[in-house]
Structure 1
Amino acid sequence: MRMSQLVGRRIKEDPKDAKTVSHKFLIRGGYVRPVSAGIYSLLPVGKRIVAKIEKIIREEMNRVDGQEVLMPVVLPAELWQESGRYESVGSELLRFKDRNDKPMLLAMTHEEGITHLVRTEINSYKQLPVMLYQIQTKYRDEARPRAGLIRVREFTMKDAYSFHTDQADLEKYYVRCHEAYVRIFRRLGMKNVLSIEANSGMMGGKVSHEFMAICDCGEDTVITNSDHSYRANREIAVAAWKFDKGEPLPLEKVHTPGAKTIEEVADFLGVKAENTGKAVFYQDARTGELVFVLIRGDFEVNETKLGNAVRIPELKFADDAAILAAGAVPGFASPVGIDGKKVRIVIDRSAAESGNLVVGANETGYHYKNFNFDRDMAGAECLVADIATVREGDPCPLTGEPLVFSRGIEVGNIFQLGTKYTESMHCEYLDRDGKARPMVMGCYGIGVGRAMAAVIEQSSDEYGPIWPLSIAPYQVQICAVNPGKDNVGEVCEKLYADLQAAGIEVLYDDRGEKAGSMFSDADLLGIPFRLVVSPKTLADGQAEFKLRGSRDAERIAVEEAIPLLKRKIEAENAKYL
């Protein structure tokens, strides 16, 4: 491709709304253009990168016996009504009616679509296991799109779904897919990707892993120990907390006028936050049911853990009216004396296993000292669970070492879905005895555009992306300095033709721009290998060879350029195998 014909201009200044490295360079380098908030067009160089990402994904999915399909973006609402997600998923699911007044939706994921497809095609254990995948457009009506391609509304995703006769077969295949994902991200040239335990969320299922590209702009928190033997996201991470009950002291009601917050109560009574119990109230967003949480004052509630513990998919903070109706007083609440049959009471381990805490007395201006769960909640109907958010430096559950926090971009996720969808949608097979059984499902996703952005976040400098050869838009860029002088244009034309004939992907900057502008554009394009031909180099029969990201360049004979590039490309490709 000639730069003079390439669609997509380079931009000198950072876009005003771009806060992340990838967002800045994807716009400035002419890879994408915004159409609306969270919606982008891909320009030719961006499309070339995406095509290479998709090619690698296809190769690895085929390697684990995947079969490619293509499902529609628009689905009838009835499929999601069968699974129960039409009602449970919030406003991020874009619902609409067609001209016949039939409820429809834009799919953000295709569990329902693939389950519908498989139940029409597979009916015997002899046809299982099977894995089907697609690379398809999705739409999620994201409330706050951000960071360019990292969080968008319309996006391309590889989503794969496996179907099995039983859980044991799913678990064996899950390991194969996990290994395939490790290979994919290595081949994409990502420098630091961790597989971590994760919460399944709206997807359902019990076991899931997220693949996190570690980088400063990541919106997810990755929690590890020093040797990465423990890895989890913030939603499910646990720590080896040890709590001290001590000798229980008598429960004592004390006057605490105006002291409502943990800080105010601790200061008023001269104790530490860890010697207090904090009451936090939630409601089921669908039913309004009140959930009363007691947690030690120096901890925060992990709402994902809480939702999983009480099996409520969406929680919201409770209003004062609901709290008062339960017999508690906002700012002075505790579960002491609260009827657990009317209110869901959840006690975090930190409060259940600590002794002599200060908690509310359910009376304005008063607290109890020396609350001890075993004594003061004896016989009460409540749930004790780990619902606390892990803090940096808390002890690792495996080694006891301090836990370390990092930031990451979720570039892939895999789930053991079980029978969540196949039972509700009657996707069944006949076993050896002719008995109908629900198929057992797995689900495996990769965000294609997000992967491209994550590579930039991990592989760039102040001038632009440094593309790994495996997904670079071109392998070589020729820069012609003063192409109208001293035979520069003619030499570059021959190099351009010979490189193409050798099967090397080449971008030829034939525009005759000034050297500074030309090199600035080349940095934004991030192509791994660069050949610079100028009157000065040709005076010695040479060209300048440079690696993107390296300050050093070397002179090589023009006739040695193609053999050298072939060797370099072969060596570089070997890194990703």
Structure 2
Amino acid sequence: MRLSRYFLPTLKETPSEAQIVSHRLMLRAGLIRQEAAGIYAWLPLGLRVLKRIEQIVREEQERAGAVEILMPTIQLADLWRESGRYDAYGPEMLRIVDRHKRDMLYGPTAEEVVTDIFRGFVKSYRDLPLNLFNIQWKFRDEQRPRFGVMRGREFLMKDAYSFDVDEVGARKSYNRMFVAYLNTFSRLGLKAVPMRADTGPIGGDLSHEFIILADTGESQVFCDRRLVDMPAPGPDVDWNDLQSIVDQRTALYAATDEMHEADRFDAEVGEGDRLTARGIEVGHIFYFGTKYSKPMKAIVAGPDGKDVPVHMGSYGVGVSRLIGAIIEASHDDAGIIWPEAVAPFDVGIINLRPNDEAVSAACEDAWAKLKAAGKTVLYDDRDDRPGGKFATADLIGLPWQLIIGPKGVADGVVELKRRATGERETLPLDAALQKLTA
């Protein structure tokens, strides 16, 4: 993509309404534009990141055995009345009435809809376990939307729902999602710590939040620092034997301020391993048994032929929220530092003198070879001063910058900068390309 033909509306000044780093940088780097309080338009650069995160989330859900569906954003209030949540949910639910005077709502979550889908088709325990996931926009009418996409009203969410014939099976499904989340966040370049959590309006008696540590996090967290250093299980995990992985992590103390027990923390965690920090929630999983299946009559024939309500769990990841979380965890004074897995482009080519034929020819050659190698490239071919190009490249945070100017071309070399470390090296173009495509 040539930057001269791209839509990248960057800002030099920090918007006054942006209170935290991720919000400031997302606005300045041209990722989003606010349309109303807590509601954003996703601009080209931000949309590319959003799609890359969404795809990683999807791949890890499918690896864990979940099946993708797409549920509607507008839901029937009658389904929520069946579950008993319509009046209990509170003012965060956006309630609407259609032209036929039917009560509707803009879905803040989808337990009722997915239960309705399930009960319409599944009648026997032989069709279980089943996990259905959905990546869809949600709406919660936050009283004070703030912090950009971190606490917006409209957000993209992955929500998965497991169905099992009994509690034993349901807890195995819970463990699959627990491990899938560890792998998902690892692929996104994040270290996420699972912590005991309150079940809130979702309900149930088993819940974990996945928290990444960041100074600007909204929650105070307390944990055994050994949890932070544990590697992700990886794609080769034995999906039939996950209990030991879950036990290893849940045996160590980890809780947000809502669930924190100071005496227990001091008793269970050695002084040298106690970690108190700020954190950002990026995922939340729940096991809630028959909370929805009983009132909504999601029933299957069990092994003994008797009808039983299924046991359910739900598993959420804030896909759009993750962008803000990643930036909070990975930035410097100059701008964003994207992990390579989610960067909007793999490489930025900076042409220091677009009106120089030799320099432009070298840039075009590099661009063609990188694209042929499967790399995504943003080529800054604008007629602008070098300082402005460097500032833009650092602000938008591409992992690599390939800098090509007249002196280097004359000497047969280019400059390669790694954004994460700031390290620069001068080397022949072919060597730089080989390093970028290795």
Q: Partners in 2 of 1:240 and 1:461 — Cα distance?
A: 37
Q: Residue 401 of structure 1: CA displacement?
A: 4.7
Q: Partners in 2 of 1:44 and 1:226 — Cα distance?
A: 38
Q: How many residues align?
A: 413
> 1:511 is matched with which residue?
382
Aligned pair in 2 of structure 1 residues 503, 454: CA closer, same or farther (>3 Å)? same
User: Does structure 1 residue 496 correspond to structure 2 residue 367?
Assistant: yes
> 1:78 is matched with which residue?
78
User: Does structure 1 residue 476 correspond to structure 2 residue 353?
Assistant: no
- Alpha carbons 2:4, 2:382 under 8 Å: kept: yes
For residue 266 of structure 2, the aligned residue among 363, 371, 396 is: 396
Q: Partners in 1 of 2:423 and 2:225 — Cα distance?
A: 35
Q: Residue 216 of structure 1: CA displacement?
A: 1.4
Give 1 or 2: higher helix fraction: 2
Could you list the runs of 5+ residues in structure 2 that have no partner in the other structure? 228-251
Which has the larger displacement, 420-429 or 213-222? 213-222
> 1:439 is matched with which residue?
310
Residue 148 of structure 2 aligns to a residue whose secondary structure is coil
Matches within 5 A, 1:448-487: 448-485=319-356, 487=358
The superposition leaves residues 461-494 of structure 1 with CA deviations (integer Å, 9 ceiling, x where unpaired) of 0011110110000101100001212511111112
Aligned pair in 2 of structure 1 residues 226, 498: CA closer, same or farther (>3 Å)? closer
Q: Partners in 2 of 1:445 and 1:532 — Cα distance?
A: 41
Aligned pair in 2 of structure 1 residues 486, 5: CA closer, same or farther (>3 Å)? closer
Partner amino acid, structure 1, of 2:161: Y
Aligned pair in 2 of structure 1 residues 226, 412: CA closer, same or farther (>3 Å)? closer
> 2:108 is matched with which residue?
108
> 1:62 is matched with which residue?
62
Residue 266 of structure 2 aligns to a residue whose secondary structure is coil
Aligned pair in 2 of structure 1 residues 481, 400: CA closer, same or farther (>3 Å)? closer
Matches within 5 A, 1:197-212: 197-212=196-211
Identity rate, percent = 43
> 1:245 is matched with which residue?
none
Residue 149 of structure 1 aligns to a residue whose secondary structure is helix
The superposition leaves residues 138-196 of structure 1 with CA deviations (integer Å, 9 ceiling, x where unpaired) of 00001111111100000000000000011111111211211110010010011x32110
Q: Partners in 1 of 2:141 and 2:417 — Cα distance?
A: 44
> 1:269 is matched with which residue?
none
Q: Partners in 1 of 2:224 and 2:414 — Cα distance?
A: 49
Aligned pair in 2 of structure 1 residues 552, 104: CA closer, same or farther (>3 Å)? same
User: Does structure 1 residue 239 correspond to structure 2 residue 110?
Assistant: no
Aligned pair in 2 of structure 1 residues 227, 59: CA closer, same or farther (>3 Å)? closer
Q: Partners in 2 of 1:99 and 1:457 — Cα distance?
A: 43
User: Does structure 1 residue 222 correspond to structure 2 residue 93?
Assistant: no
Q: Partners in 1 of 2:323 and 2:97 — Cα distance?
A: 34
> 1:427 is matched with which residue?
298
- Alpha carbons 1:486, 1:535 under 8 Å: kept: no
Q: Partners in 1 of 2:266 and 2:6 — Cα distance?
A: 52
Q: Partners in 2 of 1:65 and 1:237 — Cα distance?
A: 33
Residue 496 of structure 1 aligns to a residue whose secondary structure is helix
Answer with 1 or 2: which has the greater Rg: 1
The superposition leaves residues 533-576 of structure 1 with CA deviations (integer Å, 9 ceiling, x where unpaired) of 00111110111001013333111112223212112xxxxxxxxx
> 1:2 is matched with which residue?
2
The superposition leaves residues 100-139 of structure 1 with CA deviations (integer Å, 9 ceiling, x where unpaired) of 1111111000000100010001010000000000100000
Q: Partners in 2 of 1:503 and 1:399 — Cα distance?
A: 47
For residue 282 of structure 2, the aligned residue among 411, 419, 422 is: 411
Q: Partners in 2 of 1:66 and 1:564 — Cα distance?
A: 37
The superposition leaves residues 345-401 of structure 1 with CA deviations (integer Å, 9 ceiling, x where unpaired) of xxxxxxxxxxxxxxxxxxxxxxxxxxxxxxxxxxxxxxxxxxxxxxxxxx5242475
> 1:331 is matched with which residue?
none
Could you list the runs of 5+ residues in structure 1 that have no partner in the other structure? 242-394, 568-577
Q: Partners in 1 of 2:130 and 2:422 — Cα distance?
A: 50
- Alpha carbons 1:11, 1:27 under 8 Å: kept: yes
Q: Partners in 2 of 1:414 and 1:448 — Cα distance?
A: 14
Q: Residue 434 of structure 1: CA displacement?
A: 2.0
Residue 263 of structure 2 aligns to a residue whose secondary structure is coil
Partner amino acid, structure 1, of 2:71: M
> 1:538 is matched with which residue?
409
- TM-score normalized by structure 2? 0.92
